[in-house]
Amino acid sequence: MAEFDLIRRIQQRSGDGALLLGIGDDAALIEPPPGQVLAVTSDTLNIGVHFPHDARPADIGWKALAVNLSDLAAMGATPAFCTVALSLPQADRAWLDGFLDGFLELAIRHGVVLAGGDTTRGPLSITVTAHGWVPAGQALRRDGARIGDDVWVTGTLGDATAALAQLEAGGVADAALRARLDRPTPRIEAGLALRALAHACIDLSDGLLQDIGHVCRASGTAAEIALDALPASTAFLDRSTAETRHGEQATGGDDYELCFTAAPASEDAIHALAASLPLRITRVGSIVEGEGVLALLADGTPWQPPRSGYAHFG
Amino acid sequence: MAEFDLIRRIQQRSGDGALLLGIGDDAALIEPPPGQVLAVTSDTLNIGVHFPHDARPADIGWKALAVNLSDLAAMGATPAFCTVALSLPQADRAWLDGFLDGFLELAIRHGVVLAGGDTTRGPLSITVTAHGWVPAGQALRRDGARIGDDVWVTGTLGDATAALAQLEAGGVADAALRARLDRPTPRIEAGLALRALAHACIDLSDGLLQDIGHVCRASGTAAEIALDALPASTAFLDRSTAETRHGEQATGGDDYELCFTAAPASEDAIHALAASLPLRITRVGSIVEGEGVLALLADGTPWQPPRSGYAHFG
């Protein structure tokens, strides 16, 4: 299959949606909706680094889009369109069809149109650049946290890291945990609703302590996190030990949940939002004066993380 | 150098320009200028495929942006901002600084702001997603060619392919030819001016015959190209032979010139444009009824290309 056949295959399966001009010209053309600003984010997945060598093409397709939509969710943006740059060792229609199965399943769910991209020969690597729209002045940012805010997280933490730990130990990951590693759920609806409630927001890709640290640095604040409050799934609790739990939940990456800060007065509205989505939303700490992030054990003593988050260049 | 240091380094050197929000949040925010539509394009360069293993980081940086700006030029768009996804075998500040030297030299020339991206560990690969603005309804497209149009190209053809041939033969490429391979010039100003003159436009990345073929398919026309009319640089003529010349000029890739069609009545305006830029613009053929592209020798007989363009998956 030549390069142009790959592109045609993608074009056939994606459709042009609401674009003025889609795949097949030198660039795609998009008309901005009135009163909206554009949110743009770009993330790469490389084989052996961001997904296991045995990952299914459909899961890779899903995750390549999901990690980008998670960034749009953290801005409170409505996803609209994206480009995909695919490097493949060889042109392989079965692989491409699997990839598009997962990619388009998530894209269709959120009305994301594939606007263009590139297919090249090289080690397996996928870069998605995702675009969304957000009403002017309403975007969620990292720099809006205020002293006295509560810190909240959506969903549960540590599932993907626990799955990875099982895989790295040479075993088979628990199916529920593996699903959280392979098919993270971008919290788009939560992000949209949080535009009215949150002061600051970030998506959790590198571990809670590291990511809330970004919010604190951008906002000129510190944070205290109560480790015992971190929400955990049943599958996670079934296999976690006292020894590994805090590390996996507080410093493990790949959660793709939202972490946001909000005024204490918003607590009832946040619980109502959680019930309406429905999605677990849990208060896990506070924004305080100072610098840095303090993780506290149940007895109120500080916890020392065994490692400081998930750095791609260690 | 950890991932966050790489990003900080990029941020320090790029500046935020006209963005509402630049590098450092989950996504960048951009306010669309009134009355403009967004043009988006994404191209990847992989080591050993799109640039030689000995390519200088600054040249890689230049070219990674240039090939994308060339696509915006072909749409008649004004470049505005881009994202960069960088996969690097290891975090290397000297390499990154070299890369940014070339990248930012071209970005500053065209007012392109680096809005965000990703740095990951993996074999050397760069994906740039470039964004530009074009007044609604004025974009140049591939599907506008009309029977009777002249076919024109900017600059000279075959230089990059000739340089590559010299490298592949184990030699050192002529400096002027190598510069055309390493540092292609996106024809932004020409693209903007051609909005008023061209019926269809494409950038030449895969070889003239293949690329004008895309225009013909999109427009429902055929084209005749006069091989003897193809513009050649002095450096190219100094080393070309009758045997290789037509192949390198008509089917070689990496020219990053514009190919456009226009009414014969626009000839004087096109010559005036060429003089004003200044940039060589040469009439090389015509749009005719039918299907396909016919390349003609000086005596009017059809020429058979030795290979059919530059396919990444051969």
- The per-residue pLDDT for A312 is 42
Can you read off the two tokens belonging to residue B126? 């760069």
Q: Is the pLDDT of residue A1 over 60?
A: no
With 0-12 / 13-18 / 19 or more C-beta atoms within 10 angstroms meaning exposed / middle / buried, residue A304 is exposed
Using an 8 Å Cβ cutoff, are A201 and A140 in contact? Answer: yes
- The per-residue pLDDT for A132 is 98
In chain B, residues with a C-beta closer than 8 Å to the C-beta of A63 are none
Kindly state the percentage of chain A with pLDDT values over 90.
79
Mean pLDDT by 10 residues, chain B (314 residues): 70 77 92 96 91 90 97 98 93 90 95 91 94 97 98 98 92 93 97 98 96 97 97 95 91 96 98 98 98 95 70 38
Task: Choose from B11, B20, B42 for mutation: most chain A CBs within 10 A.
Answer: B42
Tell me, what amino acid is at A236? Answer: F
Q: Which of B20, B74, B115 sits opposite A37 (nearest CB)?
A: B20
DSSP A302: B
Can you read off the two tokens belonging to residue A214? 């970004």
For A:187-216, CB contacts with B below 8 A are 201-203
- The per-residue pLDDT for B281 is 98
| DSSP string over B73-136 | HHHTPEEEEEEEEEEESS--HHHHHHHHHHHHHHHHHTT-EEEEEEEEESSSEEEEEEEEEEET
**Shortest Cα–Cα distance, A98 to chain B (Å):** 19
ipTM entry: 0.92
SS3 state at A221: coil
For A:121-150, CB contacts with B below 8 A are 121-123, 125, 127, 129, 131-132, 134, 136, 139, 141-143
The chain-wide mean pLDDT, for chain A, equals 92
Binning pLDDT at 50, 70 and 90, where does residue A23 land? confident
d(CA A201, CA B141): 40
Tell me what the mean pLDDT of segment A53-72 comes to: 95
DSSP A278: T
Residue in B closest to A136 by C-alpha? B31
Listed range (A13-22, A254-263, B24-33, B161-170) with the worst mean pLDDT: A13-22
Kindly state the percentage of chain A with pLDDT values over 70.
95
Taking CA atoms, B245 is separated from A59, B24, B259, in Å, by 47, 49, 19
In chain A, residues with a C-beta closer than 8 Å to the C-beta of B131 are 40
pTM score above 0.90: yes
Taking CA atoms, B20 is separated from A78, A265, B95, B246, in Å, by 17, 29, 29, 49
d(CA B60, CA B49): 12
Task: Choose from A1, A129, A205, A217 for mutation: most chain B CBs within 10 A.
Answer: A129
Question: Is residue A46 within 8 angstroms of chain B, CB to CB?
Answer: yes
- The per-residue pLDDT for B200 is 98
More confident residue, B114 or A311: B114
Binning pLDDT at 50, 70 and 90, where does residue A309 land? very low
d(CA B209, CA A4): 15
Q: Look-up: residue for tokens 């933490």?
A: A157
Residue-wise pLDDT for A166-190, tens only, equals 998 988 889 999 999 999 999 999 9
Q: State whether B49 and A120 contact (CB < 8 Å).
A: yes
- The per-residue pLDDT for A242 is 82
Tell me what the mean pLDDT of segment A245-249 comes to: 95
- The per-residue pLDDT for A24 is 87
B281-288 and B222-226 strand pairing: antiparallel
Using an 8 Å Cβ cutoff, are B47 and B81 in contact? Answer: no
B113-121 and B200-203 strand pairing: unpaired
Q: State whether B41 and A27 contact (CB < 8 Å).
A: yes
Q: Which of A27, A37, A116 sits opposite B30 (nearest CB)?
A: A37
H or E element that contains A282:
strand A281-288
**Shortest Cα–Cα distance, A134 to chain B (Å):** 9
Residue-wise pLDDT for A111-170, tens only, equals 999 999 899 998 999 999 999 999 999 999 999 999 999 999 999 999 999 999 999 898
CA angle, residues A104, A109, A114, in degrees to nearest 5: 40
Residue-wise pLDDT for A182-225, tens only, equals 999 999 999 999 999 999 999 999 999 999 999 999 999 999 99
Using an 8 Å Cβ cutoff, are A117 and A85 in contact? Answer: yes
Q: State whether B3 and A129 contact (CB < 8 Å).
A: no
Q: State whether A311 and B4 contact (CB < 8 Å).
A: yes
* Rg for chain A, CA atoms, rounded: 20
SS3 state at A6: helix
d(CA A195, CA A140): 6
For B:240-299, CB contacts with A below 8 A are none
Task: Choose from A1, A20, A21, A40 for mutation: most chain B CBs within 10 A.
Answer: A40
Q: State whether A41 and B83 contact (CB < 8 Å).
A: yes
Tell me what the mean pLDDT of segment A289-307 comes to: 90
- The per-residue pLDDT for B54 is 83
Binning pLDDT at 50, 70 and 90, where does residue A304 land? confident
Can you read off the two tokens belonging to residue A308? 């400081």
Backbone torsion region of residue A89, taken as left when φ is above 0, otherwise alpha when ψ lies between -120 and 50, otherwise beta: alpha
Using an 8 Å Cβ cutoff, are B195 and B76 in contact? Answer: yes
Burial A135-156 (b: 16+ CB within 10 A, else e): eeeebbbbbbbeeebbbbbbbb
**Which backbone phi and psi does A61 adopt, to 5 degrees?**
-60, -45
- The per-residue pLDDT for B57 is 96
